[in-house]
Amino acid sequence: LKPFSAEAIQSQVGQPALLGHSCCAEMSRLSRKQLHQYQGWPKGIYPMSDGWVPPAYPGEEELIAYEEKMNNRKKAVLIKKHVAVKAPAYEQLSAQEAMDKSEYSLICMPIMEGPFSGEGEERTWYLIVYYESAKKGKVERAFKSAGFDISDIEPVPVDPDEAEDWEKDLMYDHGASKYKATVSEYEYAVCEKGTAEYDDPWGPKFADGPNWE
């Protein structure tokens, strides 16, 4: 196959060959993302099949600026430890001032009343503490001040590729020096190995369970 020249095209169509500007403009238009492909596009039914979107939705310039901002965020490399504490320690460790000072975040899960958790100050909280390895000393001192030595608990690296969604959010939060405690809206039961509750894939059952449906 022989390449076409501008002169050859002009001779065929009888018009001057304006390939440069118009072709590049068309390629640029086609190479741009559709609006709904940008990170900042609100999830939902839009755009409609005919391309219509509400006037209040963000435009292309706004979406591009948001995506550049998101892509330029710093992501921290985190490790995590699992620890169970009583209510007074939980209150101390989950205070925003304590987290900001020692640079860690928490996932907090309350344990329901039973053999492993009581009422009031005896309530048990299962915590997952996230921090950067360089902040190890500060985090350990914070927990020690609350009566818990976590220095011997093995840290688990947070794999950026395998992390849960909330862990990925925490990576960016820590990269921006922001720390938080996320408290579960559910209570958790501790099931001992060898019990019917432990072996049941649906977990423990309660007499008033049908009332929850």
Question: Residues 118-154: pLDDT tens digits?
Answer: 999 999 999 999 999 999 999 999 999 999 999 999 9
Decide: 152 and 112 in contact? Cβ < 8 Å.
Answer: no
140 φ/ψ sector (left φ>0, alpha ψ -120 to 50, else beta): alpha
Q: Is the pTM of this model over 0.75?
A: no
Residues in the chain, overall count: 213
Residues of the chain with pLDDT under 50: 1-19, 23-30
CB atoms within 10 A of CB 88: 14
